[in-house]
């Protein structure tokens, strides 16, 4: 028995001398001193020796085991010291080398457009406001001169909230347009008013130029002596500043319940350059005919002023509401053919801007 243990010690010591790193050391220790190793199984055989040999054999076996454990401990310490000493060569840091800055993100394309639109209107005295995105029927429709049977108040057009109606303000809705902020602004601001409101809006539409959630910017100016000339001047100023001097705009007579007279505001398409056709004569998917509708505008209807507790005989004004995303898509150089691309969260698209 003792001869066998001595032979095992000699073999283990020889293997230990050839270990080069801590990983090899751990593997050797498990193999040679683990519970299922030959050495440990041999120690279990001590109980089978005659009583007169068991004591001396046990003492010798413990001596061999302790010696091997000490040898492994010494080897581990030597390898750890060698590894620590090599750090100066393998993990040194040159503090004079310029650092590598982490990758930085940027504002979303829509947020960039909102900031730019806000800044452009601030130059001519418009202040930025925000109104609720979940509002009451009164502010979204009734106060804007829209009767109960107006198509916009149909559930196929507007998202109504399943909540108890207000006794005076009616049902709750996801605001379908920033125009719902007009009367709110009249209620809380002293005259005159010159505001630009930018918020999210919600409608049941989805195609290349519509998404269910989008942003609008609403302009509202109320003062004395305001005419269509002032409205057109503001719209032309924005178009030249935002889109560039080469883009064309037009006003088309239209009908909105909350303005009179009313207009649709169009701009020449930036994808097909106002021709309605792409290369090889393919029809432009975005505009169809060379013009893209940006939104509505007009002189504030007297009934809306009255709903805001303003005397329409003394005061007048104009309002306009455009989609931020659609306006952004028409900016020179962007060439975005589908509004849905803006909200797909595709980094290959977003990192271009």
Tell me, what's the pLDDT at 312? Answer: 95
pTM: 0.66
C-alpha dist (Å) from residue 170 to 13, 89, 183: 90, 76, 15
Across all residues in the chain, what is the average pLDDT?
86
- Dump pLDDT digits (tens) for 292-313: 777 899 999 999 999 999 999 9
Answer for the pair 157, 119: CB distance below 8 angstroms, yes or no. Answer: no
Range of weakest confidence among 135-139, 166-170, 247-251, 330-334: 330-334
Answer for the pair 170, 137: CB distance below 8 angstroms, yes or no. Answer: yes
Fold classification of 109-350 (topology level): BirA Bifunctional Protein; domain 2 (3.30.930)
Tell me, what's the pLDDT at 1? Answer: 67
Q: How confident is the model at residue 66 (pLDDT cuts 50, 70, 90)?
A: confident
Count helices and strands (H / E) in the chain: 11, 9
User: What are the extents of the domains in the chain?
Assistant: 2-85, 109-350
- Dump pLDDT digits (tens) for 189-245: 899 999 999 999 998 877 777 788 999 999 999 999 999 999 999 998 998 899 888
pLDDT at 84 over 90: no
DSSP string, 16-49: HHT--SHHHHHHHHHHHHSTTSHHHHHHHGGGGS
């Amino acid at each position: 028995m003792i001869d066998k243990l001595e032979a095992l010690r000699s073999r283990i010591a020889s293997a230990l001398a050839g270990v080069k790193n801590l990983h090899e050391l751990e593997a050797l220790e498990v193999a040679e001193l683990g519970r299922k190793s030959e050495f440990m199984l041999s120690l279990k055989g001590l109980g089978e020796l005659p009583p007169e040999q068991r004591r001396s054999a046990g003492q010798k076996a413990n001596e061999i085991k302790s010696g091997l454990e000490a040898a492994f401990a010494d080897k581990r310490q030597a390898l750890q010291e060698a590894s620590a000493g090599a750090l100066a060569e393998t993990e040194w840091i040159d503090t004079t080398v310029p650092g590598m800055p982490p990758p930085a993100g940027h504002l979303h394309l829509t947020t960039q457009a909102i900031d730019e639109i806000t800044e452009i209107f601030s130059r001519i005295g418009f202040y930025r406001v925000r109104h609720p995105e979940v509002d009451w029927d009164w502010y979204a429709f009734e106060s804007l001169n829209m009767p109960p049977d107006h198509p916009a108040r149909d559930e196929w057009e507007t998202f109504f909230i399943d909540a108890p109606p207000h006794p005076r303000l009616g049902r709750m809705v996801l605001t379908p347009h920033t125009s719902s902020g007009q009367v709110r602004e009249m209620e809380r601001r002293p005259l005159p008013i010159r505001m630009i409101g930018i918020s999210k809006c919600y409608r049941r539409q989805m195609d290349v130029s519509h998404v269910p959630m989008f942003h609008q910017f609403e302009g509202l100016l109320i003062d004395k002596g305001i005419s269509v000339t002032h409205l057109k001047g503001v719209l032309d100023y924005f178009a030249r500043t935002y889109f560039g001097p080469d883009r064309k705009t037009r006003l088309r007579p239209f009908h909105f319940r909350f303005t009179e007279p009313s207009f649709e505001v169009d701009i020449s398409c930036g994808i097909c350059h106002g021709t309605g056709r792409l290369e090889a004569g393919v029809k432009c998917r975005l505009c169809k005919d060379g013009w893209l509708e940006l939104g509505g505008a007009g002189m504030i209807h007297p009934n809306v002023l009255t709903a805001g507790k303003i005397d329409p005989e003394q005061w007048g004004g104009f309002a306009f509401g455009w989609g931020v995303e659609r306006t952004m898509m028409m900016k020179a150089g962007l060439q975005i053919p589908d509004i849905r691309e803006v909200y797909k969260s595709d980094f290959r698209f977003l990192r271009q801007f």
